[in-house]
Amino acid sequence: MASTFKLVFAVLLLQLLDFCRGGKVGVDYGMDANNLPSPDQVSDLVKKHNIQYLRIYDSDPKVLKSLSNTDIELIVGVHNDDLSKFQFQSYVDSWVKNSILPYYPATKITDISVGVEVTDSPDAANLAVPAMRNVVSALKKVGLQDRIKVSTPLSFVVLSKSYPPSDGAFDGSHDNVLGPLLDFLEENQSPFMVNLYPFYAIGDSSLDAVLFKSPSSIFVDPNTGFSYKNIFDAQLDAVHFALAKRKSRSIPIIVTETGWPTRGSGRHRLAMASLDNDDDSYASIDNAQTYNTNLIRHVTDGSGTPARPDEELVVYIFSLFNENLKQGPETERNFGLFYPDMTSVYNLVFPGKGTGRSWCVASRQASNSALQNALDWACGPGKADCSALQPDQQCFEPNNLVSHASFAFNNYYQKNGLTAQACRFGGTGIVVYNDPSYGNCIYNVKSRDPNGRTWCVATSQASRSNLQNALDWACGPGKADCSEIQPNQRCFQPDTLLAHASFAFNNYYQKNGATDASCSFRGNAIKVDRDPSYSNCIYH
């Protein structure tokens, strides 16, 4: 019996690993312009184009409000000019109270980026880490230190050497910042944020290598034997190796900026860049579309990098709009995916999050020590419910670290909004899209109804405006009974448009024969075969 169980579990694990692929692609929403659409219009735009991850450079309340109930995960920022004020805990406490709490969790804030490329500015460099510590202290006071992570994006020039990637090393002149920063990231299980622009490396590499178009290897790292086919992977692995040299291998990486300009001078802002200043032929719509299309394909195909083939890539494309007030050469004002009138500069397809359920499990690439630390943290007071992992309980077998960590990670992930942040665990967690439950061990998702019953819920792919219109219709006279989603009633929480619409849609669906026609809501609803009820909120 034991050998049969192990064989079945091994098969399930292999099936699970087939679905542990794919990264996340977001967009930087800069506002250095005087001709941009309103935040509400932008919210509808990003939903329309299936953009599920955004980064802004401040905490504009209009933007935060516009993204409420959209399910879009958001990184908010702090300007370098504000870092001096963030040296005072009382100021930061007030900032969190006024700029974060009024919008969270309806707006899915997952990270706060404190400053931008601070190593390029001596004043900002000395202020960044103390400001970050104050932000964490403020988040702890309101119980959000585990749900919202704090970091600071650095430019690629923080590396003194990047070729070959295995020789990647940080510039020692930045040790006054990097030492405290890496300690902070380790302590708080926060990501290392870096901006990578292969566009500025064209002078040292072929255009095909930069555009992900090389049919074969462009070089082999002589120290590792790893074969590289594109410059993005080479740059990212240089950062991986630089972190490893600082004993910080377990810190996950977020590429907070990368992209390609569609027009302008070939002059560039990075010190190591070597493009011909008079040649603007590389900055074109065709090249931008090729780079970003191939980048998305590479990030979402789950292939990782040569040094980290199974690590999930998290990348943000710069930028949402062309920004007419950005300083510097013309290229800086022409990185946008959209013109200010919201028409596309070129067509780009985003993968979104999919329409199905997701789970969080342990990465098989994580070291035992990193996985044990993450498991201990996840099972700590007030976090995951790990009781099912105790001896003689339904999820104790198989009694191994990956299995136990997977259950604990998922329990925490399900309880904390199913965000990318809630599945980080210091880079040891990965999001998957098929149910890892086995035997009697259920990963926080109800089994299919044995009688074949179905329910009708709102789809996360619907725009806010369409969902609101459908909810208003469903709760109209003689249709769904929406009394239970009123304030202080048992289905009011979570107070989100998606949750309220799901309850109303299902109520109407059940009252009207549970037919396909009664779960249409103009394409804003989907049928599911698992009971969406939760706590005291029963989906009759």
Cβ atoms < 10 Å from Cβ of 106: 17
| Active-site annotation holder among 73, 117, 312, 323 | 117
What would the two tokens of residue 105 be?
Answer: 């969790």
Q: Strand, coil or helix: what is 402?
A: helix
Residue 117 annotated among the catalytic residues of the structure? yes
* Closest alpha carbon to 219 in 170, 281, 179, 167: 167
Cα separation, 404 vs 385, in Å, equals 12
The residues, ordered by sequence, that sit 6+ positions from 420 with a Cβ below 8 Å of its Cβ are 24, 53, 73, 110, 314, 431
Burial class (CB in 10 A: 0-12, 13-18, 19+), 443: buried
Residue written as token pair 């980026």: 113
Cα separation, 355 vs 358, in Å, equals 9
Identify whether the C-beta of residue 202 lies closer than 8 Å to the C-beta of residue 287.
no
Amino acid residing at 483: S
| Active-site annotation holder among 73, 186, 187, 257 | 257
DSSP for 101-154 reads TTTTTTSEEEEEEESSSGGGSHHHHHHHHHHHHHHHHHHHHTT-TTTSEEE-EE
Cα separation, 67 vs 155, in Å, equals 28
Cα separation, 396 vs 411, in Å, equals 14
Identify whether the C-beta of residue 425 lies closer than 8 Å to the C-beta of residue 409.
yes
Strand pairing partners for 149?
111
Cis peptide before 164 (omega within 30 of 0): yes
* Closest alpha carbon to 253 in 261, 243, 262: 243
Residue 323 annotated among the catalytic residues of the structure? no
Identify whether the C-beta of residue 374 lies closer than 8 Å to the C-beta of residue 409.
yes
DSSP for 8-61 reads HHHHHHHHHHHT----EEEEEE----SSPPPHHHHHHHHHHTT--EEEESS--H
Which CA distances in Å does 263 have to 260, 267, 453?
9, 11, 56
* Closest alpha carbon to 455 in 539, 374, 332: 539
Cα separation, 175 vs 108, in Å, equals 34
Q: Strand, coil or helix: what is 65?
A: helix
Cα separation, 22 vs 27, in Å, equals 17
* Residues with active-site annotation: 117, 257
